[in-house]
Amino acid sequence: FFFNCTFLSCLPQPKTYIATDIRDDILRPTDPESASGSVMRKFKAMPNSKLVKANVNIEHNGVSVTDCALLCLQENTFQCETFDYQFSLGTCRLSSVYPKQTSAGVGINVYTILYSSEYTKYEAVLVPSQADKTVSNTTSTEDCAKLCTETADFRCEAFEICSNAKTCSLHKTHIFSGASNITGDANSNTVRRPDCIHYSRDHLYDYIRRDHKRITGHDEAQVEVADVSRCAYLCASGEVLPMCSSFEATQLQEGNTKCVFSTADPTNTAMKVPLEDTLPWALYTRANSLPIVNPTAHQGSGKHGSSTEKPDTNYCSEKSKGSNSETSIRIGIAFGTLVLGVLLGAVIMLVGQRIISRRYHNTEDLHGLSTWKR
């Protein structure tokens, strides 16, 4: 509030301040919530533990826990599997080793990538068709999910774990493939198996949601489905519209979801795709990349790898622009001072000459007057 005062009274008046920037690197002494935010949901937290120093690849200082998670996901010099984070100092340490052994650490959490977070779980379901790849002696959900995510042989859309057989089966085919769009039933070829669990990729992780937005025009295909996850799958697979880049979704009165597919990509600035505000719709665009994180400190440590700090070119260019601006200001001030000094000197000289001239004329007048009186 600020006060609006008159002669008789002062009344408080509300005032709105507009933020010029948003910071997400505020350090906190304790963990606010381990699973908060879409990025942190990709990790499993182990509270009050820390990595063994020999397993640390890179250390960053002065970053938030979310930025630490992004740095792990963005790391391209090694496969980041784990990081630990000290909340009081903002210390972030990345590791390429899945932590089978950790040390106790107060105010420090260890986070491991949760590969299964990108898949939808179907209990007691099995796709009896031939698996495209089978790995024996695997009962860990995370190990099987990692195999499906990272396999280079084909695009893995689903996997299954059967406890009795101790196998991990990878599939090219999604459980939605061939399913009814409206009812949402899984592939009709699936069978029930109490000892098996089926996981199919949740393609909603491939998209970013923008509420109350639609693309103006570009309604190239549309369909009614059971839920928005089905929309994401249809766009990602291209079954309804080849080269699908985005889709819009709204819930109908009967409970189904209407999807509108488009090859237009609003995130591509070169395309200049117009958007419009509309209340019941949501726009989904592909999440092509994660936000870039620039840590305040970046140093290598540990025996598994090292990293050299890269100069922040944006900062250098901004600093150069700032220096040029300051130099121009100083030159302007100096020139203005010089002109002012010249003018002031001229005025002083003029005033001085007038005073001297007046004194001289007054002396002559007095001398003439005294002579005349005589």
Measuring CA to CA, which residue among 35, 36, 51 is closest to residue 85?
51
218 and 194 within one domain: no
Residue 248 reports pLDDT greater than 90: yes
62 and 130 within one domain: no
Q: What residues contact 128, with CB distance under 8 A and at least 6 apart?
A: 189, 190, 191
pLDDT at residue 19 in the model:
60
Could you tell me the pLDDT band of residue 302, with boundaries at 50, 70 and 90? very low
What are the CA-CA distances from residue 345 to residues 338, 351, 354 (Å)?
Answer: 11, 10, 14
Q: Where are the alpha helices (DSSP H) in the chain?
A: 65-74, 141-150, 228-237, 313-373
Number of folded domains that form the chain: 3
Q: pLDDT tens digits, residue range 265-287?
A: 888 777 788 898 888 999 998 87
228 and 185 within one domain: no
Residue 362 reports pLDDT greater than 80: no
Cβ 55 vs Cβ 95: under 8 Å = yes
The CATH number covering residue 269 comes to 3.50.4.10
Grouping H, G, I as helix, E, B as strand and the rest as coil, residue 341 is: helix
Q: pLDDT tens digits, residue range 68-87?
A: 998 998 888 888 999 999 99
On whether residue 306 sits in a domain, the answer given is: no
Cβ 87 vs Cβ 29: under 8 Å = yes
124 and 97 within one domain: no
On whether residue 157 sits in a domain, the answer given is: yes
282 and 210 within one domain: yes
pLDDT at residue 330 in the model:
62
On whether residue 355 sits in a domain, the answer given is: no
**14-18, 200-204, 224-228 — which is least confidently predicted?**
14-18
250 and 212 within one domain: yes
Measuring CA to CA, which residue among 264, 293, 263 is closest to residue 75?
293
264 and 250 within one domain: yes
Residue 158 reports pLDDT greater than 80: yes
Q: Domain ends where: 157, 184, 201?
A: 201
On whether residue 91 sits in a domain, the answer given is: yes
On whether residue 300 sits in a domain, the answer given is: no
pLDDT at residue 11 in the model:
62
What does R_g of the chain's alpha carbons equal in angstroms? 36
Residue 109 reports pLDDT greater than 80: yes
Cβ 218 vs Cβ 262: under 8 Å = yes
On whether residue 253 sits in a domain, the answer given is: yes
Measuring CA to CA, which residue among 190, 218, 338 is closest to residue 283?
218
195 and 216 within one domain: no
Q: Domain ends where: 97, 113, 129?
A: 113
Burial level of 27, CB count in 10 A (0-12/13-18/19+)? Answer: middle
Grouping H, G, I as helix, E, B as strand and the rest as coil, residue 355 is: helix
On whether residue 256 sits in a domain, the answer given is: yes
Residue 161 reports pLDDT greater than 70: yes
**101-115, 130-144, 145-159, 193-207 — which is least confidently predicted?**
101-115
Beta strands in the chain (DSSP E): 2-5, 10-13, 43-46, 49-51, 58-61, 82-86, 91-95, 102-104, 108-113, 119-126, 133-136, 158-162, 167-171, 191-201, 207-215, 221-225, 246-251, 257-262, 275-286, 297-300
Could you tell me the pLDDT band of residue 299, with boundaries at 50, 70 and 90? very low
Show the domain range for 275: 206-286
Q: Domain ends where: 161, 186, 201?
A: 201
Q: pLDDT tens digits, residue range 312-339?
A: 434 334 434 444 445 555 666 666 677 6
On whether residue 214 sits in a domain, the answer given is: yes
71 and 97 within one domain: yes
83 and 147 within one domain: no
Q: How many CB atoms lie within 10 A of CB 71?
A: 21
Measuring CA to CA, which residue among 24, 48, 44 is closest to residue 35?
44
282 and 245 within one domain: yes
What are the CA-CA distances from residue 182 to residues 178, 231, 275, 281 (Å)?
Answer: 12, 11, 28, 19
